[in-house]
Structure 1
């Protein structure tokens, strides 16, 4: 399997159909195929050879889609750059992957120039913007105009597709090496569930550097749907684009869903938007609270909800919870709040510290085996050996499996709070507090305690205009979970630190409490 297969199929079968609409521009499948082939030619002309790394530092655009297809077309390897990183982290990833070409857009042209000059192996910077090409860079559009379309190298199978860096909050990031088979199998697994079909109009609101969006993009190319591209996520722009472009499907992190709902609730014109074409909302990247899920289902009654659980190392999908389980019956059974069942060709087990499978209903580590599991971490043999033991990817997530094979994710194992010898899962605390009517966002962490080792501390963002105090929050929590799981301290903030895809950065929340301590949880 190779990533460009879907493009080939639809250039042949539906050449005049719209493949991409981005920033007022509409591109057919035939036009996209030619632009991708020209980009591959241009890269080869710049000296890119088999296996060379090509990076992109950019907001979402049609050129980002061309990058994802054109680099493997040229027999090269992808390195999409996290736009939220510092210059030091970007330089590290460029050096670690030995990237030779960097593509930047208008937003990141200054940063791109800075990191390219500091990186050891970057020899060429391409400007993929609409303005004047900065000095020292080559024009993306000029390169394509001068190029002649070349045949696809058909790089595929177990060959390296890309280095997808993950982490970066507790030291320098790890480069996850994924093959064409890894991403293709994971994407085909998504298609097999009925998502991203041939008639889908999919909105790219997640950042394209993130593997979750790339996986959705690949799935949509396999099926032949239409890509609608927004440069960045902005609630008003997302909702207005759904109406204007008749969007049918999109992928969002839970924090993005919350931001959509918050804007919709306070904006008078939001109620007049026609969102009836939206039939599926896929959510993932972090857990969702029951309160937020119920609020979203009420706000978008025509949309089916669909959860995907996984991680970059799993290309990225492990399990699915389909729309049929987002109903009252499975609210009562609890399955609506599970991560669902393994995707096709994927096996999941729950194991103890010795990798022995535990009984159903018992919490252990979630491990995964299948064609979606990464090749390993670039230049990190020890970390690779620790993660890929006995052919299974050890996720670092704690969870359990019920009698029907549904997976319930309790917590990141590193986020588990150990207080007085009791294991407390932060997700359980967060779920209890999230049901408070004044709470918009919540994060629970363990902080040091001389007597108990750790105690539960929660950081809360209140809804606009709402009020609550520590006593209210703790009393609300005590009505829902055992007393030892409830917070001993409450902190109110205007915002939580978030990653580029909306994950709460608990490392940042814990840092001031654990600095200079013997147990500094990462």
Structure 2
């Protein structure tokens, strides 16, 4: 790993080196038992490159990937990158307007989707009026003829063009990963090859990953963490990755045991869901020794380590800037602290969010970061210069996270600034929720905010609505409407009707007031009402 100069931080060089070092070692193992060695994975990537090239993908193009977790997903990601193109994974739960927005933003030369998701993709493209070539893969049900045609077909039947791969540059854009928007649709974070490499390297160093390790990963591959902290980290070290289709708190310990995992990753709410499962006498009788997590909820951190016999390694970071802060591996647990800044790579300050002036140690302010090497953080938001300039003002990236650094250099996260909603490890766009709500008959305007859930550092969603005169709200009907418009995790738990929204002097909704008000006696709670989203969706189907 340390043999790579920063000018060589690209996936083509890393994959070639890994295949040369340990060609027959196991790399990826799916939930159904399919296993690929590094050499077999390399051959699959080369085959996929030929199919993508035959479908019109070339250097500096963009490929939208609508798929869940699978070995095919990983293969497509690397094949796209090794062609010199950029992959853009989209949440497979998206449909309708959300999917249309994502595809319009990416503006891909090709859309690749799992077979079962092709109808939603085709409908979104058709609505946008910008049909793109579509290729599908997987063992799902083959779509009917209305979703296929001259521009559609199985990826494996696209032919295979002869490919001369370009030599990649660390500054090249590897991926476009979505992050939440508050005053507009979700933004696309451009991730460079150097950035992806460094995140993987930091994960290897921070979690002490070696070739003897087995990762367990059930995090969705449209996120940064499973891609770079797990799969790319395994590529750097020769470790093995057991990749599950989806996370289940109930099955987590059984999957850890069945896969022989020695290391895994988590996010605060998911860690709490695991801890909330009934304790077993044999919870600690596994091969698992480490879990990297952001955050490691302070109220359960020590008990989680005891119960599962693991070391928790807390971090702080985000897609735009990787993971600048790690709890040093050799240091004992400090509940609530996300560790120390990796100062060989990053400059870090805590500033007054109104003035950008640095605040003294122990004072809460906004976290700002900038790199010490070229291309190791995102160059910006794809086709969104306004948001890029706003985030990078005064030559520092403004994270929107608040906390403090103590006199000994330990960093303590406190809260999020602004209107970002974080639910079950997903950043959620309040803007998207509001647009969907405002399309419901009788709603004049709305504001979505995060309110405290039963998990630390996690939100439930509250939707505040103002109705047109004479209109009355049926909350069940509104939730049914939102279920058609939004991904499952974006549907609010709470709904409250207000006479008007509190406003700033410039007329913008004062969401801080709505958050602070929280759940009141006038708030409708779909859980208390016994409304189950999955049952409701089945009834619609």
Question: TM bucket by the smaller chain?
Answer: 0.7 to 0.9
Q: Structure 2: how far apart are the matches of 1:396 and 1:129?
A: 39
Give 2:238's aligned residue.
224
Q: Structure 1: how far apart are the matches of 2:284 and 2:499?
A: 48
State whether structure 2 residue 285 is matched by structure 1 residue 289.
no
CA contact (8 A) 2:296 2:314 kept: no
Q: 1:412 aligns with which of 410, 416, 426?
A: 416
The Cα offsets for residues 310-359 of structure 1, whole Å up to 9 and x where unpaired, read as 11111x212111343444xxxxxxx4321111124112111123222211
Give 1:520's aligned residue.
510
CA contact (8 A) 1:37 1:151 kept: no
Q: Structure 2: how far apart are the matches of 1:514 and 1:279?
A: 54
CA contact (8 A) 1:251 1:281 kept: yes
* Long gaps (5+) in structure 2: 1-8, 423-449, 456-481, 483-488, 504-508, 513-541
Question: What does 1:10-29 correspond to in 2, within 5 Å?
Answer: 10-22=18-30, 23-29=32-38
Q: 1:185 aligns with which of 198, 205, 227?
A: 198
TM-score calculated relative to the size of structure 1: 0.75
Q: 1:164 aligns with which of 142, 157, 177?
A: 177
Q: 1:139 aligns with which of 128, 133, 154?
A: 154
Give 1:304's aligned residue.
311
Question: What does 1:111-510 correspond to in 2, within 5 Å?
Answer: 111-119=120-128, 121-134=130-143, 135=145, 136=148, 137-143=152-158, 147=160, 150-168=163-181, 171-216=184-229, 217-265=231-279, 271-272=281-282, 275-284=285-294, 287-301=295-309, 303-314=310-321, 316-327=322-333, 335-343=334-342, 344-352=344-352, 353-370=354-371, 371=373, 372-414=376-418, 459=452, 461=454
Q: 1:64 aligns with which of 73, 92, 96?
A: 73
Q: Structure 1 74/108 Cα, relative in aligned 2: closer, same or farther at 3 Å?
A: same
Residue 95 of structure 1 deviates from its aligned partner by: 1.2
CA contact (8 A) 1:41 1:74 kept: no
CA contact (8 A) 2:116 2:141 kept: no
Give 1:7's aligned residue.
15
Q: Structure 1 27/346 Cα, relative in aligned 2: closer, same or farther at 3 Å?
A: same
CA contact (8 A) 1:100 1:121 kept: no
CA contact (8 A) 1:133 1:139 kept: no
* Long gaps (5+) in structure 1: 328-334, 417-425, 428-456, 463-496, 498-503
Residue 507 of structure 1 deviates from its aligned partner by: 8.9
CA contact (8 A) 1:89 1:168 kept: no
Q: Secondary structure at the match of 1:395?
A: strand
TM-score calculated relative to the size of structure 2: 0.73
Q: Which moved more, 1:20-29 or 1:366-375?
A: 366-375
CA contact (8 A) 1:177 1:377 kept: yes
Q: Structure 2: how far apart are the matches of 1:459 and 1:367?
A: 25
Give 2:428's aligned residue.
none
Q: Structure 1: how far apart are the matches of 2:274 and 2:318?
A: 24
Q: Structure 2: how far apart are the matches of 1:336 and 1:218?
A: 28
- What's the Cα RMSD here? 3.1
Residue 272 of structure 1 deviates from its aligned partner by: 4.8
Q: Secondary structure at the match of 1:80?
A: strand
Q: Structure 1 389/170 Cα, relative in aligned 2: closer, same or farther at 3 Å?
A: closer
Q: Structure 1 250/262 Cα, relative in aligned 2: closer, same or farther at 3 Å?
A: same
Q: Structure 1 104/274 Cα, relative in aligned 2: closer, same or farther at 3 Å?
A: farther
Residue 231 of structure 1 deviates from its aligned partner by: 0.4
Residue 110 of structure 1 deviates from its aligned partner by: 2.7
